[in-house]
């Protein structure tokens, strides 16, 4: 009886260990951009979730979430505000 319980516990432990190893994040290649100076930096182009919090005289308008598109061109970048998302982080 004790042997079967130990065997069952070992099987469960190995199963959990297998899931943990299989679920580990795999290393991914980071997109980079080479600047005119030769320096290589991370490419931040794409859609990003952004959270806006108004302050000062604009604080009455509160906080909100949105999606911003960031466009990187060489060593400069700019953001284009996307669409409004209902705020869930207040």
Domain count of the fold of the chain:
1
> Strand, helix or coil at 16?
helix
Residue 90 domain flag: no
Residue 38 domain flag: yes
- Check whether 18 has a pLDDT greater than 60: yes
Higher model confidence: residue 85 or residue 49?
A: 49
Higher model confidence: residue 11 or residue 54?
A: 54
- Burial environment of residue 68 by CB neighbours within 10 A (0 to 12, 13 to 18, 19 or more): middle
Residue 52 domain flag: yes
Instruction: Output the average pLDDT for the chain.
Output: 75
Give me the domain span that covers residue 51: 2-85
Q: Considering the entire predicted model, what is its pTM?
A: 0.46
Residues 63 and 52: beta-carbon distance below 8 Å: yes
Residue 67 domain flag: yes
């Amino acid at each position: 009886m004790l042997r079967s319980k130990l065997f069952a516990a070992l099987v469960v432990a190995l199963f959990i260990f297998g899931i943990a190893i299989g679920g580990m994040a795999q290393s991914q290649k980071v997109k980079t951009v080479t600047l005119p100076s030769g320096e290589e930096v991370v490419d931040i182009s794409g859609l990003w979730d952004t959270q806006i919090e108004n302050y000062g005289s604009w604080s009455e308008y509160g906080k909100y979430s949105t999606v911003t598109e960031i466009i990187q061109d060489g060593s400069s970048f700019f953001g284009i505000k996307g669409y409004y998302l209902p705020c869930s982080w207040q």
